């Protein structure tokens, strides 16, 4: 999610002013429309066009924002080489443009960390998340949903690195924030399922069974909440969560979630 303050963040008086800022809010709205229609080619053209516009107009904040969206787009569509290329580009430009201590820069670093995690580069991922966490915790309200997303992603990387206690702490922080968000229950569902996976990895299937059953129950309640917004992101989350129910042998729930997914 792109917030206005993330884009309109003040810079120092010595920084180069852009010729013209790209309309970030409209760019994201149009991207969401392409994704809602499952027009991936249109979404890619749209993002690359606005990346070029930001570069031409020397709109550094806009450029970092679009790079973040391109990282996510490529990652979600399995194009990891391109996602990694955009991640490396963004990290270099955060430094080059002097955005290391800004929320805009931290968001680009966070997005790069998610790409690294998805490609198995968990040490680099943790380094990115730690940098982003420092800026976010200094600059954002403690209940800001961006902090919740950061804690959730950071915890997943820590789990991969077998730093389980740190991961649990961050998952708990994410849940406290996401549970207060409008439409935040689907985010909570992902966290509950991530926690279930963590306990299995740490304690084994038998020792963690009662705890994982409880977490799967909570996630299912969140995913089937009738107040959830039925949009492309909800479908993405359902698709992401369904395999967990297959893995834990809850095939009836998996089938029910598939029915919901295919009904939209």
CATH 1.25.40.10 placement within the chain: 1-137
Tell me how far apart the alpha carbons of residues 147 and 154 are, in angstroms, rounded to a whole number.
Answer: 10
- Which pLDDT tens digit goes with each residue over 116-175? 999 999 999 999 999 999 999 999 999 999 999 999 999 999 999 999 999 999 999 999
- Which pLDDT tens digit goes with each residue over 239-256? 999 999 999 999 999 999
For 42-60, b/e burial (b = at least 16 CB within 10 A) is ebbebbeebbebbeeeebb
- Which pLDDT tens digit goes with each residue over 77-91? 999 999 999 999 999
Fold adopted by 1-137: 1.25.40
CA atoms within 13 A on the CB side of 24: 23
Fold adopted by 140-264: 1.25.40
Tell me how far apart the alpha carbons of residues 185 and 12 are, in angstroms, rounded to a whole number.
Answer: 39
């Amino acid at each position: 999610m792109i917030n206005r303050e993330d884009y309109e963040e003040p810079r120092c008086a010595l920084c180069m002013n852009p010729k013209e800022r790209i309309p970030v809010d409209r760019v994201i709205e149009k991207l969401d429309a392409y994704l809602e229609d499952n027009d991936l080619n249109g979404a890619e053209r749209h993002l690359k066009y606005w990346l070029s516009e930001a570069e031409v107009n020397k709109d550094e904040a806009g450029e970092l924002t679009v790079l973040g969206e391109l990282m996510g787009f490529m990652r979600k569509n399995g194009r990891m080489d391109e996602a990694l290329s955009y991640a490396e580009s963004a990290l270099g430009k955060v430094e080059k443009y002097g955005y290391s201590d800004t929320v805009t820069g931290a968001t680009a670093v966070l997005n790069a960390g998610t790409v690294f995690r998805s490609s198995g580069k968990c040490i680099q991922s943790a380094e990115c998340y730690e940098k982003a966490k420092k800026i976010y915790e200094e600059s954002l309200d403690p209940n800001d949903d961006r902090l919740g997303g950061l804690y959730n992603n950071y915890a997943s990387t820590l789990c991969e690195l077998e730093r389980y206690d740190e991961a649990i702490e961050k998952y708990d922080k994410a849940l406290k924030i996401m549970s207060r968000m409008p439409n935040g229950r689907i985010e909570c569902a992902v966290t509950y399922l991530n926690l279930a996976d963590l306990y299995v990895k740490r304690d084994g299937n038998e020792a963690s069974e009662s705890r994982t059953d409880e977490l799967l129950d909570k996630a299912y309640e969140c995913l089937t909440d009738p107040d959830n917004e039925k949009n492309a992101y909800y479908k993405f989350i359902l698709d992401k969560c369904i395999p967990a129910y297959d893995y834990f042998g809850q095939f009836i729930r998996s089938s029910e979630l598939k029915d919901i997914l295919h009904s939209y």
